[in-house]
Chain A
Amino acid sequence: GESVGLHLPTLSVQEGDNSIINCAYSNSASDYFIWYKQESGKGPQFIIDIRSNMDKRQGQRVTVLLNKTVKHLSLQIAATQPGDSAVYFCAENSAHNAGNMLTFGGGTRLMVKP
């Protein structure tokens, strides 16, 4: 079936460096993508989203890039800080029996070294 997957389960970066978290998707019909951050002991929190009519969207220290040709999504975090240590999930919209909903990838753990 359709799925969203990640290239790297764990990413370790030095504080101050830029981080790039990657995500591959297989449903060419998906038109909405979203990134969540989950800190230990908490529920996932929205970071940034993007629609398929865009290639790039920027937020505060974060940028999401969408390459529809190769069905690839990435999250870039500038000047990574210790507070960025968390698990990051990408998700795409998909059709389910009751309507559209998000399908989540497996997650990438980001570890920031001081």
Chain B
Amino acid sequence: GAGVSQSPSNKVTEKGKDVELRCDPISGHTALYWYRQRLGQGLEFLIYFQGNSAPDKSGLPSDRFSAERTGESVSTLTIQRTQQEDSAVYLCASSAGLAGFKQYFGPGTRLTVT
């Protein structure tokens, strides 16, 4: 496909379990971003990957959150020992990086922690 894809679209998990969220960016985009969006709120920056540079992790809310990206392709966001306050939509975006600021967003993964 031509756009950013995310999976799963919905995830329900029990408190204390680990979850992995996946993002497939647009092919050729060197930059990839993760955001968290709580219900009715704005975009909360989590992490930013740019090419082979060290990722900007300044937005990760705790050490339970981590993300990886293999080269300039797929990224996974992992949340360990999930808490109810982790319930939110997790959005991924990609961009041409240094060649362009415009971010293209995926549809998001809605995470519900029970």
Query: Does chain B have a CB within 8 A of A25?
Result: no
Chain A residues proximal to chain B, CB less than 8 Å = 32, 34, 36, 42-46, 49, 89, 93, 96-107
Q: Which chain B residues numbered 16 to 65 have a C-beta less than 8 Å away from chain A?
A: 31, 33, 41-43, 45, 48-50, 53-56, 58
Q: A46-B102, A104-B43, A106-B42 are contacts. A99–B107 as well, Cβ < 8 Å?
A: no
CA distance A105 to B97 in the complex (A): 20
- Interface centre among A97, A98, A100, by most B CB within 10 Å? A98
Q: Is the CB of B43 within 8 A of A101?
A: no
Quick one: which of A34, A43, A98 contacts B108, CB cutoff 8 A? A43
In the complex the two chains form, is A98's CB within 8 Å of B101's CB?
Answer: no
- Extra A-B contacts (4), CB below 8 Å, given A44-B43, A49-B102, A101-B101: A34-B102, A98-B50, A106-B41, A107-B42
Chain B interface extent, by class: 20 to 34
Beyond A44-B43, A106-B42, is A100–B101 a contact (Cβ under 8 Å)? yes
Q: Can you pick out 12 interface pairs between chain A and chain B where the beta carbons lie within 8 Å of each other?
A: A32-B101, A42-B107, A43-B93, A43-B105, A43-B106, A44-B43, A44-B91, A97-B54, A101-B50, A101-B56, A104-B42, A107-B41
How distant is the Cα of A104 from the Cα of B48 in the complex, in angstroms?
Answer: 14
Residue of B nearest to A108 (CB): B42
Contacts of B93 in A (CB 8 A): 43
List the 9 shortest-distance A-B pairs measured between CB atoms, nearest first: A43-B105, A98-B56, A98-B50, A106-B42, A99-B50, A97-B56, A107-B42, A104-B43, A98-B53
Residues from chain B with a CB closer than 8 A to the CB of A101 are 31, 33, 48, 50, 56, 95, 101
Residues of A within 8 A of B105 (CB): 36, 43-45
**Does B98 touch A at the CB level, under 8 Å?**
yes
Q: How far is the CB of B48 from chain A (nearest CB, A)?
A: 5
Distance in angstroms between the alpha carbons of A105 and B42 in the assembled complex: 7
Which partner residue on chain B sits nearest A99 by CB separation? Answer: B50
- Inter-chain contact A98/B42, CB cutoff 8 Å: no
